[in-house]
Structures are given as C-alpha cells and as structure tokens.
Amino acid sequence: MDLMMAFAMGDANRGKPLMVFDWNKAARVIKERGATSASAGLSGDWGNTGGEILTDGKPNTTDYTYLASTWATPELNIDGETIDCFIMEDDVPADWGDTFSDIKWPLSAIEILNAQ
C-alpha cells in the first residue's frame, strides 16, 4: 500500500477504536514456539510499519515499527506464519504508556518471555 492510500484509510477511519499490538500475546506465542526471531507490522502495510521485534532470541527495540491502527490489523510473524495480534486501545494495560504506536517490549511482555 502506498503512503497516500494509508493516509486516506486512516482519515476514513478517524474516530474508530484503535487496535494496538498485543505485546503480551506476542511474548506468549514466541515463548510457546521457542522462536528466536519474529516481526510485527500492520496488515496491508508491512512495508511502512513492520520490523523485527525479536532477533537471536532477544527483544529487538531498535527496528522501526508502527503497531497501532484504526483500520489495519496489527500482526505477528513467526517462521512465515502471520497471526493477528492486537488488543483494543481501551484494554491496553496502564503501564504500557499512552503512545501506543511507540510501545516496544513493555515490562509485562519481557516478564512473560523470561518466565520459567
């Protein structure tokens, strides 16, 4: 999807509930599968929003990602399988902060990854 189309979709969906990448779900899936690499992005717009979130088994906080949208579903990709991975804005834990698109590995998700 080109940038103009993405802006048009965002404008057309203004005021609708925001879907936010679910870091806790991603951590559970990564742990269950024993994944050492994973990526996240928005459906239909991975080229502008996606990036690595797990590299060599460690959380990656340096790759750019934009993981919140009113129209595009946040997704997790592990080993070529793409999984819807989001919660609604109203359900985001308070400790994740207010800038949902900028959240990178909140403490709750790190704790899930590190749990025995």
Instruction: Give ∠ CA 72-65-116 in degrees, rounded to 5.
Output: 105
Whether 7 shows a pLDDT value over 60: the answer reads: no
The span from the CA of 39 to the CA of 98, in Å, is 22
Instruction: Give ∠ CA 65-1-59 in degrees, rounded to 5.
Output: 15
- Cβ atoms of 62 and 55 within 8 Å: the answer is no
pLDDT in tens, 21-52: 999 999 999 999 999 999 999 999 999 999 99
* Tally of structural domains, the chain: 1
Q: Which range marks the domain in which residue 77 is found? A: 16-114
Q: Which among 83, 66, 98 is positioned nearest to 25, based on CA atoms?
A: 83
- Percent of the chain topping pLDDT 70: 86
Q: Is residue 71 part of a domain?
A: yes
Write down the pLDDT at residue 95: 84
Q: Is residue 4 part of a domain?
A: no
